[in-house]
Structure 1
């Protein structure tokens, strides 16, 4: 596991949204998709509201690498399936950060979304 430097972690975590461009098999990047990003401890996470069936999620899992951009930080990253033990803290982070959108935040708290939780790590 690679750790974020403190400044980048803070900037990305403070951003409401993150752009994620996953890598294709030939090494080129797909078009970026905008999503919410949350921080739990020293880690950053994203989820697919469509769960594992979500198109961006399938692309991200195909090579587990790509590029993210948020809070003025652009970083090549790897995407790791989060352990189910991480889900409660990520749920809490979504509630805290995005709870002012109650009808929307519930979509990232479903079982389908939880099982698509990806931990982002710099590379």
Structure 2
């Protein structure tokens, strides 16, 4: 695994959301804007509709894709996160998004937590 660059980490900390695309890169690969958080040094995303979300299913199915934040595109890997990180991710969403965090701390969203790492 390649670590996040310092500039990408700063962008992830300071930006409200990122753009995510699941699957091999290409002109027809759709991107979706999602909220994200850093927890214990790792990047996490959660779909509002949980495991029924189309982009979530694509990310799990492909396991690869890219994210774009602050104009920088990074090839990434997606992996389902285990229950051991849910509390830390919940807290990170509440700190970052305040009252808006309800989209990410519902039971369906919590069950669909994805960890994103640079490819």
Q: TM-score scaled to structure 1, two decimals?
A: 0.87
Using a 3 Å threshold, how does the CA distance of structure 1 residues 71 and 119 change in structure 2: closer, same or farther?
same
Q: In the TM superposition, what are the counterparts of 1:12-31 in structure 2 within 5 Å?
A: 12-23=12-23, 28=26, 30-31=29-30
Normalising to structure 2: TM-score of the pair?
Answer: 0.90
What's the CA shift for 1:14?
1.5
User: Which residue of structure 1 lines up, in the alignment, with residue 114 of structure 2?
Assistant: 118
Structure 2: unaligned runs, 5 residues or longer: none
C-alpha RMSD of matched pairs (Å) = 1.6
- Point out 4+ residue stretches in structure 1 off by more than 6 angstroms: none
Which residues of structure 1 form unaligned runs of 5+? none
1:2 Cα offset (Å): 4.2
Give the Å deviation of 1:73. Answer: 2.1
> Quick check: 1:80–1:119 contact (8 Å CA) kept in 2?
yes
Aligned length, in residue pairs: 118
Aligned to 1:8: 8
